[in-house]
Structure 1
Amino acid sequence: MFGKATSNFVKQIDPDGCLIPMSRLNDSYGMQPLALVVKRTRFWFWQKPKYISSDFTLSDVLSGDEPIKPEVVESDFLKYEGTFGDNLSGKLGTELGQLNLNVEGKGSSKLQSSFGNLKKREVDLQQLLLTSKGRFLNMEHSLVQQTREKKNEVFALVKESIFTTQQCSIIEQVQEQEQCAGILGFKSSNITISVNENGNYQLDSNVVLEIPPQTVLAYSVIELNVKPSGEYGLCLLPDTHGGFEAESSGGPPAGLLLSQVDGPRRDALARRTVPSKAPLTVLREDLEGFQPIFQPFAELPEAKQSELFEVLSKVVSDRLLISGVVDVLDQLCSGDGQAPANLDNLCPSQKRSATALLEAMGSGPEETDGTRGSSALLAATHLLVCALEGMSDAALVVLSGCFHPQMLQALQHLIRSFTVARTCPLSSAAAAPLRHKEFLQTVQRLFSSSSVVVQEEQAELRATTGQQPGFLPLLLCISVNGLAALRTGP
C-alpha cells in the first residue's frame, strides 16, 4: 500500500526522471543524503534494479577518521494529494469446448494519498566532489567486502530525498464481488467477508495508513566507481554506472538463469526495445530463445504440474505476493539453487504461498547428478514469475481469469500466430474459442493492457503494438507461453 502510493507519486511528478519511489516504509528513515545504499542488478534485462538500504553513510566506510561533511540544502518542494481508482465490471457466459463458463464480476478500488507539504534535502555535489578528492574506501570494511564479492552489486550514494513535513495518510478502499459457476475456479483474497459453496464471494476493505513527519517518499542516487586501491569516483552522468573495477562491473550477472541464454543472444535481448505500431513478428526470435527454458514444466508429472499451476494461480492475483516470491527465488538463484531461502521478510500469507511454491518446485525431475533437474525447474519458474512481475496491474487482473488449459492453449496459439505470420485466422480449430465474442473481448483487454492492439479484420485477427510499448508485449508473450507449457506442454 505504501509502495503503491509512492510509485503513483513518482509517476506523477517525475515519470522520466531519476527519482526512485520508496517501496518499504521501514526503510524510508535511513534514505537521507549521504546514506550508502547497495544497487543490485536483477536477473533479467527488463527488471529494474533493486536498491537496498544499509545502516552506513559514506563516512562510515572511508579510511581515516575525518568524516565527509558536504552541505545538505533543504528546500520546499510541493504539496501533494492524489486519488487513483478503478471501476471494473464484466460478464462472461460461454462454452469453450467442454468448458462451461459463467462468470460475472464487479469491483472498484481507490487509493487516496494526502502527503501535504513536502520538502527536499539535496547534497551539494560540488562540495562532495572536493571533499572526496584523495579519500579512499576502507576495503577491509565488512560492507565493502560483502558487496565487492557480488558481481551484480554496486555502491550508490543518496544525493536527494523527498520527505513529509507533517502527519499524513494513505487510504485504500477496495470493493469486489464475483460470481462464478462451472468448471472455472476463481482467485481467493486475503480479506474475505463471505464465501459460499456456489462460488460467490464479496470483498470489502478500508485501510488507513498514517505516515509520520520526516518520512522519505522518494530519493535519487549517484553511483560509485571503486578502484582496487579503494579510491572512488562519482558517476555524475545518468548513463554512467558504478562498480568495483577489480570485478566485471556493470551489466547483469551471468548466473544460473542468464547462463541459459548464450552471451551474444543475451546482449541482443538487453538492447531490445519493441517499436511502436510494430507487428508482433519482431518478438519471434526473442521468444524462441526463451522457450527452451520452459521445457522442465512439460517434464513434470501431471500431478506436480497441477500443484505448481495452482500455486501460481494464487500468486498472479496479488502484486505484493509476486514481488515476495521473486525475492525468494532471487535468493535461490543467487547461489547454487539448493540453499534454503529466507522467508522472514514475507507476511504470513505470502510465506505460505512461497513455501507451497518451493515445495512444488522441489519435487521436480532431477538429472543424474541430483541437482540439474531442480535447477532447470527453478530457472523456468523464476523466468515466469519475473515476467509476471513486469506486467501491468490491469494485465494481471485479466490474466488471473484465464487460468484454464483451454484458455491458455487459445492464447498461446494466438501469440504463435501473431509472432510467425502476423495474423491469426479464426477458421482454424485451435482458434475456435476466439470465435466466442465474450472470450475475444477478454483477449483484447488482456493484450490492450500490455500495449498491444488486437483487431478483427474479416475472418482473422491482427495485432500491432501501441505507443511506447516497452517490454510489455514481450512479457505478456513469455507469461502466456510459460503458463501454457506448465499445463499443456511447450
Structure 2
Amino acid sequence: MFSTAIKSMLKEADYQGGLIPVSSLNDNSGKLDLLSVIVKIRPRMGWFWQKPKYRSRGFTLSDVLPEDSPLFSSFKKTDFVDYSRIFGDKTEMKADGKVDGLFADIELNVSMNCSYKQDSSFGKLKKEEIELTTLLNHLKEKRLDMTHPLIKQSCVKPRAVLCVLTERIVTSHPCRVTQKILNSGKIWAMEKFFIDLSTFGKASLKQSGSKETDSMVSFQIPENTVIAFSLIELQVKLNGMFDLCLFSNNGGFEQVKPHDGMEEDAFRGSISDDNSLLDLNKQMEKLSDQFQLLSVLPSETRSSLLQLLRNMMKNREEVSAMESVLDQMCDGETPNLGNLRESERRTVQAIVDIVLNSVGEDKETRSSLLSAIHLIVSAMDEMTDEGLSVLESCCRPPVLKALQMLVQCVAAGSGETISLRDTHLTVLTEEEEEYRRAESLFDNSNVILKREEDTLRTEMKDQPGQLPLVMSIAVMGLVSLVRGGWIPRHH
C-alpha cells in the first residue's frame, strides 16, 4: 500500500520518470541519505522488461574514499509539491436465472457490490539535492577504495553499477495513507417443487442470505521520510578513478580483456536497451523452454504453484517482494527475509519447499526451476495494477487456455484473427463476464480485442511498450501450470 501510494503520486508529479519510488519504509533507516552509495542491479540478460533494483547498505561516498577528510554536506532544499489524492472504485454485478428440473424449478437472484477507496495525503513534500558543480569540484582526482567490502563485492557482480544518491523527496510533517475495502453480496432463491400423491400438489420455498466484509488499513508516515530519490551512476576504473555519468546511464566497472590487457572503454553494464522494435513472437520463443520446464512438473506440484501465484497476485507489494527474493536466489545469494511480512515469508518458503521437493539435491535443475518461476513473477511485477488484478480473476484453467490462444494471436502480429468457434474459446463466448475480463486484461496491456461476428481480432495500441510482452509471459507461465498442459500453437 505504501509503494502503491507513492507510485500514484509520482505518475502525476514526475511524469517524465526521473525519480525512483521508495518501495519500503525500512529503506529509510539511514540508507537513503544524500551522497549514499547505492548499488543498482541491472535487468538480467534478455529480461529487458525488468526494472533495475536498488540496494543500499548504509554507506556514504566518504566511506568508500581512502581519504580521511569527510565530504562537504551542503545541499539545497526546495518545495516539491503539496499532494493529496482520494481514489475510489466501485463495481456492481447482478445475475438472475432459472433452473428447470423434473421435480422442482429454482429461481436465483445474485447481487454483489465491491468498493475500494484509498486516501493518500502526503501534504507538502520537500526536495533536497546536492549541488552538482560543488560535488564535481570536490571529487576531482579522488579514487575509490577498491578494497572496501562494498566495492569488492559489487565489482564482481555482472549486473552491478555503483551510484550516488544526489536528490531525494521527503515528507515535511507526519502524513497518513488509508485504504478501505468493502465487499457485500446477496443471494435470493425460490424453489418450486411438485409432489404427486394421487393428486397433484405444488409448494414453494424461499431462501435468502447476505454477506458483508469490511476492511480498513491505515498507517502514518513520519516526518522526514524519504519517498523517492534520484541517482548518478559511476564509471569506475580498475585503479579506483571514477567519473560521474551526468548525461546518460552508462556506468559500470571497467573490465580486463582476457588476452589483450585492459579494455579502456569497456564498462560492464553499459549496454543499451533499445526495445522500440519489439518482436513479441521472437521473444516468446526464446522463453518457451522455461514454460516447458514448468509444464512437465507433477500435476500436484503445478497445482500448488498456481494457487500460490494466484494468492500472491491479490497483493501488489507481495509480488514485488517475491520478485526481489527470487532475483537474489537466482544469483546464488541468501536473501534477508527479516524485512518481509509474515504472509510474504510464508509464500517464499512454500515456493522454495515445492522446488526442493520436486528436484531434491539436483542444484542445476533447482536453479532452472527457480529461474522459470522468477520469470513469471518478474513479468507480473511489471504489469499495471489493474491488469494484475484482472489476471488474478482469470486463474481458472478454461479461462487461462482461452487467454493463451489470444496471446498466440497477438504474437502472430497485429491484425491477426481467431475464430470464436474454437472449443478453447467457448468459455469466452458462453460467459460474457469472462469475455469482459479478457478484454480488460488486454486493454490494460495496450492490446485491443475486437469482436467481429464469429471472429476476434487483436490489434496493438500506439506505442504499446513492454506491456504486451509482460502480460504474455505471465499468461503463458500460468498456463504451463494448468492441468492438461499446452494447447498446440497452430490449433
What's the TM-score once normalised by structure 2's chain length? 0.83
- Measure how far apart 1:341 and its partner are: 5.0
**1:419 pairs with 2:411:** yes
- Measure how far apart 1:103 and its partner are: 8.8
Cα distance in structure 1, aligned partners of 2:168 and 2:126: 8
**1:327 pairs with 2:330:** no
| Counterpart mapping for 1:50-449 below 5 A | 50-69=53-72, 71-90=74-93, 105-177=112-184, 202-237=212-247, 239-246=248-255, 249-251=267-269, 270-273=273-276, 282-335=279-332, 342-365=336-359, 370-420=362-412, 422-436=416-430, 437-449=432-444
Cα distance in structure 1, aligned partners of 2:397 and 2:457: 23
- Measure how far apart 1:71 and its partner are: 3.0
State the AA in 2 paired with 1:71: S
Contact kept, 8 Å, 1:364 with 1:377, in 2: the verdict is no
Distance 1:464 1:92, change over 3 A: farther
- Measure how far apart 1:203 and its partner are: 3.6
Structure possessing the higher radius of gyration over alpha carbons: 2
- Measure how far apart 1:28 and its partner are: 2.7
SS of 1:7's partner is helix
Contact kept, 8 Å, 2:254 with 2:268, in 1: the verdict is no
User: For each residue in 1:308-353, what CA deviation from the matched residue of structure 2 results, as whole angstroms up to 9, or x when unmatched?
Assistant: 2221221122211111221221122001xxx765432211111111
Q: Which residue of 2 aligns with 1:9?
A: 9
Distance 1:199 1:433, change over 3 A: farther
**1:39 pairs with 2:40:** yes
Q: Which runs of 5+ in 2 are unaligned?
A: 98-108, 188-207, 257-265, 487-491
- Measure how far apart 1:46 and its partner are: 0.9
Cα distance in structure 1, aligned partners of 2:384 and 2:36: 32
- Measure how far apart 1:434 and its partner are: 2.4
State the AA in 2 paired with 1:42: P
Identify the structure with the greater strand proportion. Answer: 2
- Measure how far apart 1:228 and its partner are: 0.8
Distance 1:176 1:384, change over 3 A: same
Which range moves more in the overlay, 47-56 or 105-114? 105-114
Q: Which runs of 5+ in 1 are unaligned?
A: 95-101, 181-197, 253-266, 276-281
- Measure how far apart 1:296 and its partner are: 1.4
Cα distance in structure 2, aligned partners of 1:106 and 1:250: 53
- Measure how far apart 1:32 and its partner are: 2.5
User: For each residue in 1:176-196, what CA deviation from the matched residue of structure 2 results, as whole angstroms up to 9, or x when unmatched?
Assistant: 34689xxxxxxxxxxxxxxxx
User: For each residue in 1:125-164, what CA deviation from the matched residue of structure 2 results, as whole angstroms up to 9, or x when unmatched?
Assistant: 1111111001111111111112222121121111111112
**1:457 pairs with 2:452:** yes
Contact kept, 8 Å, 1:169 with 1:211, in 2: the verdict is yes
Q: CA RMSD in A?
A: 2.8
Cα distance in structure 1, aligned partners of 2:391 and 2:210: 20
Cα distance in structure 2, aligned partners of 1:87 and 1:294: 36
Contact kept, 8 Å, 1:72 with 1:123, in 2: the verdict is yes
Q: Which residue of 2 aligns with 1:186?
A: none
Distance 1:178 1:141, change over 3 A: farther
- Measure how far apart 1:477 and its partner are: 1.1
Residue correspondences, number: 441
Contact kept, 8 Å, 2:37 with 2:162, in 1: the verdict is yes
State the AA in 1 paired with 2:218: V
- Measure how far apart 1:447 and its partner are: 1.0
Percent of matched pairs sharing the same residue: 36
Contact kept, 8 Å, 1:408 with 1:480, in 2: the verdict is yes
User: For each residue in 1:399-454, what CA deviation from the matched residue of structure 2 results, as whole angstroms up to 9, or x when unmatched?
Assistant: 11222211111111222234337111112223222222332222111111212110
Cα distance in structure 1, aligned partners of 2:66 and 2:222: 36
- Measure how far apart 1:105 and its partner are: 4.6
Distance 1:2 1:203, change over 3 A: same
SS of 1:380's partner is helix
Contact kept, 8 Å, 1:62 with 1:136, in 2: the verdict is yes
Cα distance in structure 2, aligned partners of 1:352 and 1:206: 23
- Measure how far apart 1:93 and its partner are: 8.5
Q: Which has the higher contact order (CA 8 A, sep 6+)?
A: 1
User: For each residue in 1:207-229, what CA deviation from the matched residue of structure 2 results, as whole angstroms up to 9, or x when unmatched?
Assistant: 22222221122111111111111
Cα distance in structure 1, aligned partners of 2:331 and 2:130: 34
